[in-house]
């Protein structure tokens, strides 16, 4: 009877150990996934042209004619950056980088 208890407890202990091991591996993979950062860069060029001229009216009276033209150019760039997310990333020491130059 005591041998059965030992076998049951050892089996349950192994099952719990492997469940914890699988959980730890899943967490490690999730932290290591790539993250994508999208940045939208929008360039807007707007131009307006105004032209004016004097013309004579129907009874010889001078009139002013103004014409306006506008142009708008929109350029949109999407920049994607991928980075790996590590749990323990080494930090760069700026003092050592200056002494090596």
Average the pLDDT over each of 24-28, 59-63, 74-78, 91-95 and give the range with the smallest value: 91-95
- On whether the CB atoms of residues 33 and 87 are closer than 8 A, the answer is no
Render pLDDT for 29-83 as a digit per residue (tens, 0 to 9).
887 776 677 788 888 888 888 888 888 877 878 888 888 888 888 888 877 777 6
Beta-bridge partner residues of 63: 55
Name the most confidently modeled range: 22-26, 74-78, 88-92. 22-26
This prediction has a pTM of: 0.34
Q: What is the pLDDT of residue 34?
A: 66
Q: What angle do CA 96, 98, 101 make, to 5 degrees?
A: 110
The phi and psi torsions of 29 (rounded to 5 degrees) equal -65, -40
Q: How confident is residue 19, by pLDDT bands cut at 50, 70 and 90?
A: very high
Domain locations in the chain as residue ranges = 1-32, 36-87
């Amino acid at each position: 009877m005591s041998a059965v208890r030992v076998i049951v407890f050892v089996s349950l202990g192994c099952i719990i150990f492997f469940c914890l091991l699988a959980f730890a591996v899943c967490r490690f993979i999730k932290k290591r996934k790539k993250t994508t950062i999208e940045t939208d860069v929008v360039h807007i060029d707007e131009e307006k042209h105004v032209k004016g001229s004097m013309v004579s009216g129907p009874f010889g009276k001078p009139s002013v004619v103004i014409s306006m033209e506008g142009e708008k150019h929109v350029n949109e760039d999407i920049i994607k950056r991928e980075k790996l997310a590590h749990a323990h990333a080494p930090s760069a020491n700026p003092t050592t980088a200056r002494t090596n130059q």
